[in-house]
Structure formats: C-alpha cells, structure tokens
Amino acid sequence: MQLNYPYIFAAILIMALVTYLPRMLPLVLFRKKIQNTFIRSFLGYVPYAVLAAMTFPAILSSTSLIISAVAGLIVALILSYFGKGLLTVALSATAAVWIVEQFIRLI
Amino acid sequence: MNQNLSVGPALSFRKGLRDGIPICLGYISVSFAFGMMAVESGLPVWVAVLISMTNVTSSGQVAGTTLMMAGGSLLEIGITTFVINIRYMLMSLSLSQKLDSRMSLFFRLTLSHGNTDEIFAVAMQQRGKIPAPYLGGLILLPYIGWALGTFLGAAMTEILSVSLRSALGIAIYGMFLAIIIPPSRKSRPILITVLLAAFISCAFSYLPVLNRLSGGWVIIICAVLAAGFAAWKFPMKDPEEETVCS
C-alpha cells in the first residue's frame, strides 16, 4: 500500500500535541481547581461516553462474522460485569470469537 | 521530602517503579492490540510504535489512527483526539494540587506526558505530596511497556493466522468494556452516560442520512450529548474520585 507520509506525520504530530497540551498546561499553569460543577462533571463523564461510543456498534464489525462478534460481546459483557480485569475480558472475548468461528467453519 | 505528611513508605523512585509494574503489564496487553490494529490498517511497525510513544493514550490514539487511515481531514483528527483527551485537563488539574510544589518546570513539562488514566489513579492514591522521583518511577515502566507492547503486537500480526487475527480484532473492544462496565454497575449516572452514548453512536451508524457523518464527529457528538446530559442531570460531587476511568 502506498502511504502518504507527509499526511501521516502531520496527523501524528497533531494527535501528539492535542494529547500533550491538555496534560501539560494544567500541571504547569494552574494550581486551582475548576469551580464550575457542570464543567467538572462534564469532563468526568466524557471518558465513559467516548469509550461507549467507540465500542458500539464498532465491536459488531470487529471480526469476520457478526455472529462471532456477538458471542465475543456477550462474553465480554458478562465478565466485565463481574469485575474481571482488562486482560481477562479481552482474551476471553477473543477466545469466544475464535471458537464460534471454528465451529461455523465445521458446519 | 515532606516528612511531616508521610506515614507510609517514602515516595521514592524505587517505590514508583514498583507501583508501575502492574500498570506496565496491563499496558503491554492493551498496546499489543493497538499495534495489531495499526498494522492491520496498513501502517508499518515503526509508525505504530511512534504513535504510541508520542501519544501514550489508548482511546485517543485508536480513534486518531482509525481516522488517519480512513483519510480524515487533519482538523477532524485533531478535534476528535482533543475531545477524547480533554479529560486529561481535569486529571492534570487534580494532580497539580497533589504535586510537591518544589517540582521544577522541567519535570512538570516531561512527566505530564505520562499522565495516563492509570498513572493518575495510582498517583492520587498516595499519601502526601508527590515528588518528581516517585512520579518519574511510576511512569517509566508503563511507558516502556506501552511502546514494547505496540511493537510486539505490530510485529507479530504477520505471523498470526487469519482466524486468530479475526478473533483478536475484538480484543481492544473487550478492554474498553472492562473499563466502562464495572463503574456503570456502581454508578447510575455513568450507566446512563454509557447507554446514551452507545445509543447515539448506533443511531449515527444505522440511520440513513446520519450514517454519512464520519466516525470522528460521531464520537464528538456522542461525548458532548451524553456527558453533557449526565453533567446536567447528575452533577458530580467529588470529581477526584469519579473521574478515574479505570
């Protein structure tokens, strides 16, 4: 595949900057807490909203078959509901997808 | 050192290194999935590692890389990544109250690069003010793990069979679920945020007209609407405890 390196480096530089600046600026400039409850709460909820939006519905098209993706999703939901760690949940979902896909290949 | 405040072991570089080991192990596995995803989408191994070393953030760099490989505009990539990362402002703000006030500008500039969700969570649990050696030690191994995991994931993708690669495609989403489900169980506002964001995201994916909008803007709209609604209906009382993502 032909890659457009100037574009890729520009994109990576921009990504790095907008990741670094929110981390660096408060640590260097501000010593006071945000007083506005709405802004504070909004920033607090953002990670959950982002991760949920990134997961759904993308997870359903993350494997070669939608059925195997659904199996993986169910396994991941159950295990994370019971508080299993990131690695356990990820590998179990992967195993579920693999098993379902092998099974479908047989029939 | 703040002798007057420290009750537990001193916050030394060594203690930082030790506290960083579990984070490092977790990062190797998460960044492994990122490395695979990056190579699958057509990037060379070294570019995947470069992204990890310059970004050091899971959701932000996954979204940014996805958009980049889909040929999104630089503005879209920048705004999306920024929106995903604005939570770090809040974390760095909280962390700034906890740092040893004598920490130099140099350390503030460099160590802030490693202020991830997990580093923040562990640092905020310590007693007393945090000195630069501890924070540096805490960040060092997870940072190396983040780069190493990316390299391993990216380099091993070509060795893995097609069926295994298909199965591993779900891994990163499994991790995202493991981050958002446990707090959703404990906190109703977080559950509502998650459900609302997932619902809006699905609507933008499946409904006609709406599905023409590209992924980055969808994430921004979901984040602003769902987090905005939650912040309006359920203002957080203690931001330091509730913003910790995982």
3-state helix, strand, coil in chain A (%, to 5): 80, 0, 20
Tokens 């760099």 -> residue: B61
Least Cα separation, residue B32 to chain A (angstroms) = 11
What is the average pLDDT value for chain A, to the nearest integer? 90
- End-to-end C-alpha distance for chain A, whole angstroms: 35
Q: In the prediction, which pLDDT does B68 show?
A: 94
Q: In the prediction, which pLDDT does B243 show?
A: 44
Find, among B154, B125, B76, B134, the residue nearest to B241 by Cα. B125
Write out the DSSP string of chain B: --TTT--SS---HHHHHHHHHHHHHHHHHHHHHHHHHHHHTT--HHHHHHHHHHH--HHHHHHHHHHHHTT--HHHHHHHHHHHHTHHHHHHHHHHHHB-TT--HHHHHHHGGG--HHHHHHHHHSSSPBPHHHHHHHHHHHHHHHHHHHHHHHHHTTTS-HHHHHHHTTHHHHHHHHHHHHHHHH-HHHHHHHHHHHHHHHHHHHSTTGGGS-HHHHHHHHHHHHHHHHHHHS--S-HHHHS---
- Of residues A77 and B2, the one with the higher pLDDT is A77
Find, among B18, B117, B26, B3, the residue nearest to A44 by Cα. B117
Cβ-based contacts of A39 with chain B (< 8 Å) = 231
Least Cα separation, residue B133 to chain A (angstroms) = 16
Q: In the prediction, which pLDDT does B239 show?
A: 45
Q: In the prediction, which pLDDT does B98 show?
A: 84
Per-residue pLDDT tens over the stretch B125-148: 788 889 999 999 999 999 999 999
Q: In the prediction, which pLDDT does B209 show?
A: 86
Judgement on whether residues A39 and A69 belong to the same structural domain of the protein: no
CB contact under 8 A, B57 and A19: yes
Encode burial over B43-69: b for 16+ CB neighbours within 10 A, e otherwise. Answer: bebebbbbbbbbbbbbbbbbbbbbbbb
**Residue A58 located in a structural domain:** no
Q: Is A92 on the interface with B (CB under 8 A)?
A: yes
**Residue A74 located in a structural domain:** yes
**Residue A56 located in a structural domain:** no
How many Å apart are CA A53 and CA A17, to the nearest integer?
Answer: 23
Interface test with B, best of A20, A37, A51 (most B CBs within 10 A): A51
A82 secondary structure, DSSP code: T
CA distances from B142 to A23, A72, B6, B28, B118 (A): 17, 28, 25, 8, 9
CB contact under 8 A, B47 and A8: yes
**Residue A32 located in a structural domain:** yes
pLDDT at B18 over 60: yes
Q: Is A8 on the interface with B (CB under 8 A)?
A: yes
Cβ-based contacts of A59 with chain B (< 8 Å) = 170, 173, 177
As a whole number, mean pLDDT of residues B136-165 equals 90
Cβ-based contacts of A64 with chain B (< 8 Å) = 166
The two tokens of residue A70 are 């659904």
Q: Is the bond preceding A6 in cis, omega lying within 30 degrees of 0?
A: no
The two tokens of residue A44 are 């607090």
What is the average pLDDT value for chain B, to the nearest integer? 87
pLDDT at B240 over 70: no
How many Å apart are CA A79 and CA A89, to the nearest integer?
Answer: 6
Least Cα separation, residue B15 to chain A (angstroms) = 22
> In one letter, which amino acid is B175?
M
pLDDT at B7 over 70: no
As a whole number, mean pLDDT of residues B4-15 equals 72
- By Cβ distance, the residue of B167, B176, B239 closest to A40 is B239
* Neighbouring residues of A56: CB distance < 8 A, sequence distance ≥ 6: B197, B198, B201, B202
CB contact under 8 A, A98 and B163: yes
Q: In the prediction, which pLDDT does A77 show?
A: 97
Q: List A residues 34-53 in contact with B (Cβ-Cβ < 8 A).
A: 34, 37-53
pLDDT band, residue B230 (cuts 50/70/90): very high
Per-residue pLDDT tens over the stretch A61-106: 988 899 999 999 999 999 999 999 877 898 899 999 999 999 999 9
pLDDT at B245 over 80: no
Judgement on whether residues A67 and A41 belong to the same structural domain of the protein: no
**Residue A57 located in a structural domain:** no
- Of residues B150 and B93, the one with the higher pLDDT is B150
> In one letter, which amino acid is B181?
I
Least Cα separation, residue A103 to chain B (angstroms) = 12
Per-residue pLDDT tens over the stretch B67-98: 999 999 999 999 989 988 887 887 888 788 88
Q: In the prediction, which pLDDT does B125 show?
A: 76
Judgement on whether residues A67 and A103 belong to the same structural domain of the protein: yes
Which residues form the domain of A92? 63-107
How many Å apart are CA A63 and CA A68, to the nearest integer?
Answer: 7
CB contact under 8 A, B234 and A41: yes
Least Cα separation, residue A67 to chain B (angstroms) = 12
| Percent of all residues in chain B with a pLDDT value above 90, rounded to a whole number | 52
C-alpha triplet B178, B179, B182: angle, nearest 5°: 75
CB contact under 8 A, A89 and B84: no
CB contact under 8 A, B170 and A46: no
- The residues facing B99 across adjacent strands are B130
**Residue A3 located in a structural domain:** yes
- By Cβ distance, the residue of A11, A20, A50 closest to B84 is A50
- Complex ipTM: 0.86
How many Å apart are CA B102 and CA B113, to the nearest integer?
Answer: 19
The two tokens of residue B135 are 């924070």
Total domains present in chain A = 2
pLDDT at B3 over 60: no
| Percent of all residues in chain B with a pLDDT value above 70, rounded to a whole number | 91
The two tokens of residue A86 are 């990131």
How many Å apart are CA B90 and CA B94, to the nearest integer?
Answer: 6
pLDDT at A26 over 80: yes
Find, among B64, B231, B53, B68, the residue nearest to A48 by Cα. B231
As a whole number, mean pLDDT of residues B18-36 equals 86
CB contact under 8 A, A26 and B197: no
- By Cβ distance, the residue of B77, B96, B193 closest to A30 is B96
pLDDT at B160 over 90: no
As a whole number, mean pLDDT of residues B5-34 equals 82
**Residue A9 located in a structural domain:** yes
**Residue A76 located in a structural domain:** yes
- By Cβ distance, the residue of A8, A41, A87 closest to B231 is A41
